[in-house]
Amino acid sequence: MSNIGSYEEKVKNFSWSTVETELGYTPGDVINIGWYCSDRICAMGKAGKTALLWENAQGEKKQYSYNDVRLYSNTVGAYLRSLGIHDGERVCLFMDRVPELYIGLLGILKIGAIAQPLFSAFGEDSLWVRLENAGTRAIITQRKHVSKVRKILDRLPELQYIIIVDHDGKRELKEKETAFFMEDEKVETLEIFPTLAETPSIIHYTSGTTGQPKGVKHVHYSLISQYLTAKWVLDLQENDIYWCTADPGWVTGTSYGIIAPWALGVTQCVLDSGFSAEAWYSFIERYKVTVWYSAPTAIRSLMKAGEEPVRRFDLSSLRHLVSVGEPLNPEAVVWSERVYGLPFHDSYWQTETGSIMISNYPGMKIKPGSMGKPFPGITGVVLNTQTYEPITEPGVIGLIAFRPGWPAMMRTYWNNEATYRNKFRNGWYLPGDRARLDADGYFWFVGRDDDVINTGGHLVSPFEVESALLEHYAVAESAVVAKPDEINMEVVKAFVALKPDYEPSAELELDIMNFIRKRLSPLAMPQEIEYVENLPKTRSGKIMRRLLHAKEWGEEIGDTSTLESD
């Protein structure tokens, strides 16, 4: 029997206050995610239960009980406090998927500070923009990533501490650096900061079309949504071994890779290593994974690897599969049902929504290619693009919209209230995606309503890449668009006009690619660079990305009346 039971029944009788009661929370009380994910589970008699099974690429293994998570998150909290870090201050987590990242997040939350998880693959520019915007006070990192922080340190006056979790003493600590070992001490008691429902918990950075990345501000009350969605969509149960393949630098890796499973007292496992079909299947076999939350890019890569590796491993422990991040191709659903004997269930949400909004629920009929239906308690519709009124006829494309008010909804964009306000029309929150509804009320994703590139589930802003390209010595101008890709759905493509003294060459192309990889990240790196003499522009001088995009996707170009040279 699934946790949700009947979807229709749950929609009819829904109330968030039932979750509050289940979690022993009364409005106005202290609610602290760090405490809920560790101390409370121990107090429920599960101190000895395994919270985390961890393994890295070298085969090194670690295991932590809920009591370990409680004690070590206390250790992190106490250490940060000893440095003078207090509630409301931003502490960045900049690490590979090491245990310190997962447990550290709870430690930060326990003292009421705000956690800012960032991908360790970020280069110095991507890192700087986000640390500067958040006014981050401390960064917790690993030796291998310190050099990136050092490069930008003098441009970050508010950054006081660089906390290194694996300092080996071989190299001297430099200015602002300090060594910290989570497992050196078990701090039995830590005074939990009395965070309330609306106290900020996490800032997650996400890319938009224009401007710098936006810091999405979440609060401790988001726990209510994350707990229930994980219970009903991921169907997490007492004896599950859960594997969320997402990195906590991405919202999926925190909402459903740290908070939800631990608030439910479930055992989860983490693989700190790159992708290969064999490595993943052998991980599932070794840990007897039962619930698997992954992404379409990974699923497409697994499809490409074929059925032969599937047969070499025992995957019989699997019982429920869920996907997020991009459109899940209907073929992927059909394939997984045939090959694993289980279909992937699509789920749709965003950094801004904080928790799953639309999904295919256990027990509900899956229509391959559809995202499913809104989560109980969520009013989700498709709006007319002109009037912002809900569309009632099935099959008509419009904007996805939600009635605000669910617990995990972002509270604002950090230092950017104007952009936040602009996400609402007629009292609806607009995630910026287009979809259509069918006669049964299922949502079918159509596309984004902006130029943001979704590469393998990661959002890349063309603006950010264009800005970085301009810093390259040979680039005069550039336009960045999405290009279709079999595995990643979209990849970054750059059209580049060179400065007068430079000639196009393959060498220069590689140099530009590497420049972006180092400055931003491997994901933001253009997979292709096309040299052009001039970029198509409007009469007012704006680059017409739409034109270049249409060319890449073989689409109609549409209205070009404002094109400069027509």
Site for ligand 6R9 in 296-355 (CB under 6 A): 324-328, 346-351
Task: Report the distance separating Cα 320 and Cα 343, nearest Å.
Answer: 8
107 near ligand 6R9, rule: CB under 6 A? no
* Spatial contact of 485 and 521, defined as CB atoms under 8 Å apart: no
| For ligand 6R9, the closer CB: 139 or 324 | 324
Residue 421: alpha-carbon gap to chain centroid: 22
Residue 98 corresponds to which tokens in the numbers above?
A: 């090491």
Please report how close the Cβ of residue 174 comes to ligand 6R9 at its closest, in angstroms.
34
- Helix or strand run (H / E) with residue 515: helix 506-519
Please report how close the Cβ of residue 435 comes to ligand 6R9 at its closest, in angstroms.
9
Q: Which one of 252, 290, 455, 488 is in contact with ligand 6R9 (CB under 6 A)?
A: 252
Please report how close the Cβ of residue 136 comes to ligand 6R9 at its closest, in angstroms.
20
Please report how close the Cβ of residue 422 comes to ligand 6R9 at its closest, in angstroms.
15
Residue 335 corresponds to which tokens in the numbers above?
A: 């394939």
Residue 176 corresponds to which tokens in the numbers above?
A: 């602002």
Please report how close the Cβ of residue 448 comes to ligand 6R9 at its closest, in angstroms.
5
| For ligand 6R9, the closer CB: 140 or 459 | 459
Please report how close the Cβ of residue 400 comes to ligand 6R9 at its closest, in angstroms.
8
Please report how close the Cβ of residue 62 comes to ligand 6R9 at its closest, in angstroms.
27
- Helix or strand run (H / E) with residue 373: strand 373-374
Please report how close the Cβ of residue 350 comes to ligand 6R9 at its closest, in angstroms.
4
Give the per-residue contact string, 357-376, with ligand 6R9 (x = CB under 6 A; - = no). --------------x-----
| For ligand 6R9, the closer CB: 109 or 233 | 233
Locus of tokens 């063309």: 462
Please report how close the Cβ of residue 370 comes to ligand 6R9 at its closest, in angstroms.
10
Q: Any bridge partners for residue 206, and if so which?
A: 214
| For ligand 6R9, the closer CB: 89 or 346 | 346
C-alpha distances out from residue 110 to 101, 184, 328, 409, Å: 14, 19, 36, 21
80 near ligand 6R9, rule: CB under 6 A? no
Using CB positions, name the residue nearest to ligand 6R9: 351
| For ligand 6R9, the closer CB: 3 or 347 | 347
Task: Report the distance separating Cα 20 and Cα 36, nearest Å.
Answer: 12
Residue 560: alpha-carbon gap to chain centroid: 36
Site for ligand 6R9 in 402-441 (CB under 6 A): 431-433
Contacts of 47 (CB under 8 A, 6+ apart): 41, 65, 66, 67, 70
Residue 58, number of CB atoms within 10 A of its CB? 8
| For ligand 6R9, the closer CB: 74 or 252 | 252
Q: Which one of 448, 537, 546, 551 is in contact with ligand 6R9 (CB under 6 A)?
A: 448
| For ligand 6R9, the closer CB: 177 or 352 | 352
Please report how close the Cβ of residue 117 comes to ligand 6R9 at its closest, in angstroms.
13
CA angle 522, 525, 530 (to 5 degrees): 155
Site for ligand 6R9 in 192-221 (CB under 6 A): 206
| For ligand 6R9, the closer CB: 84 or 484 | 484
Task: Report the distance separating Cα 106 and Cα 187, nearest Å.
Answer: 14
Task: Report the distance separating Cα 406 and Cα 353, nearest Å.
Answer: 9
Torsion of CA 472, 416, 205, 410, to 10 degrees: -160
* Spatial contact of 306 and 335, defined as CB atoms under 8 Å apart: no
Residue 4 corresponds to which tokens in the numbers above?
A: 């949700």
Residues of this chain that bind ligand 6R9 (CB under 6 A): 206, 250-252, 324-328, 346-351, 371, 431-433, 445, 448, 454, 457, 459
